[in-house]
Chains A and B, each alone.
Chain A
Amino acid sequence: MLTPLLVLCMSFSFAQEKRISGVVTDQTGLPLPGVAVIVEGTTTGTQTDFDGNYTLNARVGQILRYSYLGQKTVTRTVGTANTMNVQMEEDAQALQEVVVQGYRNSTKEKSSIASVTINADESIQNRPNASFVQTLSGQVAGLNITTSTGQPGAASNVNLRGVTSINGNTQPLYIIDGVPVDEDNFRSLNPQDIASVSVLKDAGATAIYGNRGANGVIVIKTRQGNFNQGLQINYTGIMSFSTLQDNDYNLMDSQEQLTLEKLRGAGRGNTLTDAEIAAAPTFDWADYFFDTGLTQNHTLTLQSGSERATQFTSLGYFDQEGILQDSGLKRFSIRNNTTGKSENEKFNYGTNITINYSTSNEPNNIGSGAINRNYILGAYQSVPYITADDYTNGADLLSPLLFSNTPLFLIDRLRTFTRKEEEVKIIGSFQAGYQITDNLSANVTMSADYQNEIETEAEGPTSFNALLFGGAENPTSGYQDQVTVRQFSYNQVTSLNYNNTWGKHTLDAGVYSEYFKAHLRTFGFRENGLDPKTFFPGDGAGFIPTFLDPATGAVLFVDEPFATIRNAGLFSVFSQADYDYDGRYGITGTIRRDASYRFAGSNRYANFYSVAARWNIDNESWMENSIFDVLKLRASYGTSGNQRISGNTYFSAPDLTRNFFATGSGYGNNNSIFLSQIANTTLRWETVTQGNVGIDFELFNNRLRGSVDGYIKETSDLFQSTPVSAINAVTQLDANTGTLTNTGVDLTLNYNILNGGDDGVNLVLNFVGNYNKQELGDLPSEDGELIGTGRNGGKLFEYFTVRYAGVNPANGNLLFLDADGNVTENPDADTDRVWLDKNIYPDFNGSFGFNLDYKGFFLQTQFNYTLGVDRFDNDLAGFQNPDNIGQFRSSRDLLRAWTPDNRITDIPAYDAFNRAAVGSTRFLRNADFLRLRFASIGYNFPSRFLDGTGLTRLRVFGNAENLFTITEWRGFDAEALSNTSRLYPTPKTLSVGFELGF
């Protein structure tokens, strides 16, 4: 038997054929499934499996070609080694190919779901934002990310395809390396560790997350080492400078302000002569309270791999000064990811652990009208004729107590108030899989998210605020709060997976169980009474014990301790099956049964399902010579849920199904028993039912790529406030009633205008867009209208108020429209309100930009746009309020106020009788904007320049965030998703950095 074969071989060639195996990874080290490996000039070939492994027979000297859409094709000559690992490099002109599908991965071709994966190298790396979420803004169609505060590391508001809940959680579920994590807290995580971010959008993708998936799912993978890779060391250093964005309020200088005060007989201006007014200094309080914020960001990574193990280690240090005084974030982070496998490769495992420590200074009372607490109010509204030199100490400000001293109260607070959050955050996970037979594998993922936050807040005993509220009876006032919040969650997914290919059929199926448990422990105290001789924020040396003042009978310095315990849990079983026929047709079905601790007393179990199907039209034989390289039609339908129907945490509203009384301080400070909760016995989760139809396409040799998705997403059993008669001691109870429908279109387009290759100019244009329309239904009120929520058929949180109609030329009074549209000076605050068809959420939003590179030079831009946002400009209302004259700063707009000689104007007479009569649309403004959200310019030194330097990589770059904004909005930040005035605006940031590889 052997001899003839051997002879046959020998007769053609003396070369020995051998078995070659290896792993193909992408440039971030993630295994690439589905890579075609072909022996050039033959028909011999194979594809890598899900873990990127391949095996084939080839002879020494033959050339292997590795090709994969979206990656540059790699060729290697077979040498003496039997293992050939290949790291592919991304082809910047093409889309990513690995598609994360929740609990498993797929290739783009075989994916039936609506999802977008962003490669971190392209657009997350090296951005100066403390939280990567802020960086994602504008990058994914349908993902609307707004950051309403410039506080470093603060949480952003993230809505995928519109808002799906009124009272409950509206943020997507975040999964980092298999760990579901707290979505409001990313400040402690180093964005530089991220390898990719996948956004799962339709029901086909999210149903498998059951009652956690209603708002979409964001799956984050961190970097990994590669098998058989030498040690590779990388350092990135970035330095950034942040400054306040501009405003257009046209604020008065001291001369104008004082003259106006004199005219109005109010404030300091009323007491000064014209000469004194002319001599008054103009002090820039915005410049005092806001400052250029300096950020430094250092990341050192080490990655390596042996035959059976890989490791990735990263050390990060990040120090960001907020532009607002006394705000900032410092972070130290360490991450270690390892993977390994057994000799027969049947067992594999991975661990990811990251330990982070951050400390952040976060002033509170931002947005409030507290003139002695909100620094932003001081920056914007302080009168310019008071200067920082006027400040002496807190005691001197007590008398006379003048509102116009606002900036001095706040200077005092800057010097005597501390608010600091220290946080330890540890996220760890362990995954393991065992191949029981060729087709059957068992897998487990165990993961934990731990955070311990210690907040220290202290108002010093010599501060103005302490003296003000302590008074003469209580001279050593002041307080110190120390609060510890510990949160631990554990998640475990256990699964059995089957996959098989026969003929043209491929089946991939799994059954899973998931267990989730979370624990919250908080405790803390407020110490009242601090001795200024020994007080130091955070230390207890200055604490004064409680005592009874014999003179007044007062009990002074009563301390307030508190503690909370909450537990939460979920348990689910689910199953998913994916079938493919010939790479042309595919269908995926998911079913999940979920139990939540929250509904234990009413509807404990919920079922969710989805079906998704695809047709790869380009793989049909009749498409052979079409202009389409890729043309895929997708459709999905299914449900997912939201069990966090009230409040934002896993622990809020834990047992609404029961009637409760509580004990606590009652009349005369006697311990008392009182009603604390009225039961809702029909409580259930909110269900989101979503249908999605999409097309993925690539044309003209992949130069034009894109996808378009249409969706209808209906939330039913909306948990919302339902009015009840006041005879029940409350006027509203939350109940599952009503619907909210989001209908929209997502569009992503990329076009390679210029394809110059390595030595030429490459230019890619990008466009991302989403149109979303909201519609409320079945609202719980007689007439289908709920003030504050909206009306049936209308937008969520649609504004309902009296229409402002300008200034009456006859007398300078404000004019309004009554409900019937007639002009009136005396509108009825109740019955003349109308629905305005406007709200704070955008109709259109997204981004466009381009990526340009030429021989190592690169330039990248991203313009974000938002259309259809209307906000109340309450800052403007303050600057135009004549009643503030003498106390606060005014806009020059007021100089146009109505007088008998200036009758045609947009500013009412100072004394218009109805200037504070009703809330109206007077300050409702369009907040649409176009913003250069991000621009980056840099140079990658070609490797030939690095020969002999010991470096393998050198890259220098400069970045800009929020460089300019085109908008009608007059305030400091058009982006904020809020109608609150005096907010901390997001900054404009310029950065420079470099990256070294060894």
Chain B
Amino acid sequence: MKNYRKIFYLFGLVTMLVACNDAIDIDQPGRLDADAAFESVADLQSGLFGVYANYDLSGEIAFSSIFTDELSIGFDNGGQGLADYGFVLNAGSVAPAVFWTGGYAAINSANRLIEAAESITPEAGEEAQYNDILGQSYFLRAWAHWFLMEYFTTDYADDNALGVIALDRVPSIDEQLLRNTNGEVYALILADLDRAESLISTDTSDPTFANRDAVTALRARIAAYRENYTLAATLSQQLLDKYGLANRAQYEAMFLDTDNTEVIFKLERTNNDPYDGQGATGSPAAGGWAGARFAFVDATLAGSPYFEMGRSLFNLYDPADIRYDVNVAPTSLIDPDYTTNNDPATDILVIQKYPGSEGQPLMNDLKVFRSSEMLLIRAEAYADAGSINGATNSAAALLKQLNDARFGTDTALPVFANQTEAFAAILDARRIELSFEGHRYKDLKRLGERANQGVLKDPIDCAFNGACSLPATDFRFTLPLPIVEFNANPGLREQQNPGY
């Protein structure tokens, strides 16, 4: 019997003395503590890949195309995107929530990397790489601020209008910040771009990373949006001179990701990266392959297109234009008498801008800045200055230059009766050239009034819901601040954009 007693004492002792700490002091394997995350320039390089991973255009592509007049409901639509397609936009909508949170997530990651870099001194020979990383971080921070401005400020050209929250540091959890003025946000963006230009290496051969030309291109776009056309003209001309325009073969190859002639900066999308997937279909939450914004499977008739090309956009494409070949899938069913037949089943316009690459249907690099956009900015500057007609140094000349490249022939020089016509032509040219790249919504907002244009769908595309047109002056061309932000930051409710 004594033995039993000993056994119990032993159990008691073992339990009380040994067991205690091993059960409650547990470090889970595979954890990377914040202070060990960045210890070298190589770590900063890995961090930079993490920061870039926050940048995506698929949400803009989805929102801009669904909300404006680039699409019609596809025959395989299972209810995707109907609210945005019907111009339903409010503080609870998806686009404002994901753009706002996505923009600030990007800024936060850039700020964390910039702060981490401050505590690291590069070894000899690493300075250039260190500076390049830091320079790209500043560029990315500026770009994310600009992205937020594009959607949330009411008036790009008014420095006193409310912008977004400008943030050049990692905030603490309990901070509730209010909107800065446009002037304040622009100051931060431009200062960051100056820093970026001084730090980023001079090599501009890889368009998948932010280089000095990307800095210039962003400055040019900002200047145009701010209607600071003198500066916009200088910057855009500089890039247009350097890159020129792609020929027809290069243009086609560009959308297969095999040619970069006119690509200034693009986001790379490749197998197994964080965006290699379908993403949220029919929603600005997107986050997957660019082409999955329009089709479930691939960019052909059999690829289950849930959105098709809008008839009003299709009608602008000339079959002789290489852009027709790029944007319209050859498997499309085209009904010349669609207006009389009135049958969506006989007129199926399949979007092919993102046919896929690297063997993955629908996955393509996301073009951020192309030289054709620079040409069109330059044309805007001419139009703004009143130089609308003429064979050289005019908006008309530049539009002809673009058409010549795309048709591969000498096209007619347009003639405009007035500035409004010129702006309308530029807006149409942007619609054709930059379709499905996320520009249309912002272009209507800033140029629609000057061009006397708004959203205009072909009647066949909006017969079912009556949402056919939306004037460019509509309040919905500025996104509302999202409810999700008000929950934490109620003071912002007072700064909600008008109309919401």
CB within 8 Å of B: which residues of A? 265, 270, 342, 344, 346-347, 369, 371, 398-403, 432, 434, 436, 442, 444, 468-469, 471, 473-474, 492, 494, 496, 513, 515-517, 549, 552-556, 558, 565-571, 595-597, 600, 604, 654-655, 658-663, 665-676, 678, 723-733, 781-783, 786-787, 828-830, 881, 883-884, 887, 911, 913, 916-918
Contact = CB atoms under 8 A, between A and B. Distances in A.
A728 B272 CA distance: 27
A883 B79 CA distance: 8
B304 to A, nearest CB: 4
A537 to B, nearest CB: 24
Nearest to A911: B464
Interface in B151-195: 165, 167, 171, 173-177
Contacts of B22: 517, 569
A369 B78 contact: yes
Interface of B: 1, 4-5, 7-8, 11-12, 15-16, 19-20, 22-34, 37-38, 43, 46-53, 55, 76, 78-79, 82-83, 86, 88, 90-93, 100-101, 104-105, 107-109, 112, 165, 167, 171, 173-177, 208, 267-268, 270-274, 276, 296-298, 301-304, 343, 345, 357-361, 464-467, 483-485, 487-490, 500
Contact of A724 (B16, B49, B488): B488
Contact of A673 (B37, B82, B101, B485): B37
30 contacts: A342-B1, A400-B302, A401-B297, A402-B76, A474-B359, A552-B358, A553-B357, A553-B358, A555-B271, A565-B29, A569-B24, A571-B20, A604-B24, A654-B26, A654-B28, A661-B37, A667-B51, A667-B55, A667-B267, A667-B274, A723-B488, A725-B485, A725-B488, A727-B107, A731-B484, A782-B490, A829-B92, A830-B92, A913-B86, A913-B467
A468 B48 CA distance: 35
Contacts of A369: 78
A436 to B, nearest CB: 7
Contacts of A727: 104, 107-108, 165, 167, 171, 175, 177
Contacts of A568: 26
Given A517-B23, A725-B489, A913 B31 contact: no
Contacts of B47: 672-674
A371 B306 CA distance: 14
B11 A494 contact: yes
B223 to A, nearest CB: 27
Contacts of A731: 101, 484-485, 487-488
Chain A CB within 10 A, most for which of B1, B177, B267, B359: B359
A926 to B, nearest CB: 26
A666 B488 contact: no
Given A672-B49, A731-B487, A783-B490, 8 more contacts: A444-B11, A595-B23, A663-B32, A672-B47, A672-B50, A678-B173, A725-B176, A727-B171
Contacts of A516: 23
A673 B24 contact: no
B79 to A, nearest CB: 6
B26 A513 contact: no
A726 B101 contact: yes
B314 to A, nearest CB: 21
B360 A554 contact: yes
A658 B33 contact: yes
Contacts of A729: 104-105, 108-109
A492 B26 contact: no
A553 B464 CA distance: 43
Given A554-B360, A660-B33, A666-B52, A725 B273 contact: no
Contacts, number: 271
Nearest to A372: B296
B271 A781 contact: no
Given A513-B15, A555-B358, A670-B49, A655 B28 contact: yes
A554 to B, nearest CB: 2
B140 to A, nearest CB: 10
Contacts of B23: 515-517, 569-571, 595, 597
B49 A726 contact: no
Contacts of A555: 271-272, 358-359
A781 B55 CA distance: 31
Contacts of A344: 1
Contact of B1 (A347, A444, A566, A567): A347
B255 to A, nearest CB: 15
A434 B26 contact: no
A469 B49 contact: no
A660 B26 contact: no
Contacts of A558: 271-272
Nearest to B489: A725
Contacts of A552: 358-359
A347 B303 CA distance: 74
Contact of B34 (A432, A596, A659): A659
A492 B176 CA distance: 49
Contacts of B490: 782-783
A378 to B, nearest CB: 14
Nearest to B167: A727
Closest 3 CB pairs of A and B: A554-B359, A569-B23, A667-B52
Given A555-B271, A916-B83, A401 B76 contact: yes
A672 B53 contact: yes
B50 A444 contact: no
A325 B257 CA distance: 45
A607 B483 CA distance: 40
B105 A513 contact: no
Nearest to A558: B272
A668 B49 contact: yes
Nearest to B46: A673
Contacts of B271: 554-555, 558, 669
Given A398-B302, A597-B26, A659-B33, A725 B171 contact: yes
A920 to B, nearest CB: 13
Contact of B50 (A474, A597, A673, A918): A673
A150 B86 CA distance: 39
Nearest to A882: B464
Contacts of A913: 86, 465-467
A662 B26 contact: no
Nearest to A676: B32
B46 A666 contact: yes
A881 to B, nearest CB: 8
B485 A726 contact: yes
B82 A883 contact: yes
A596 B24 contact: yes
A513 B13 CA distance: 11
A454 B47 CA distance: 36
Contacts of A494: 8, 11-12, 15
Nearest to A492: B15
B358 A403 contact: no
Contact of B86 (A595, A725, A916): A916
A828 B303 contact: no
A566 B8 CA distance: 31
Contacts of B112: 675
B175 A666 contact: no
A427 to B, nearest CB: 20
Contacts of B105: 726, 729-730
B302 A401 contact: yes
Nearest to B491: A782
Contact of A675 (B28, B109, B303): B109
A515 B43 contact: no
Contacts of B171: 725, 727-728
A985 B484 CA distance: 35
A779 to B, nearest CB: 11
Nearest to A887: B78
Contacts of B88: 829, 917-918
A403 B484 contact: no
B91 A669 contact: no
A513 B16 contact: yes
Nearest to A886: B75
Nearest to B79: A883
Contacts of A402: 76
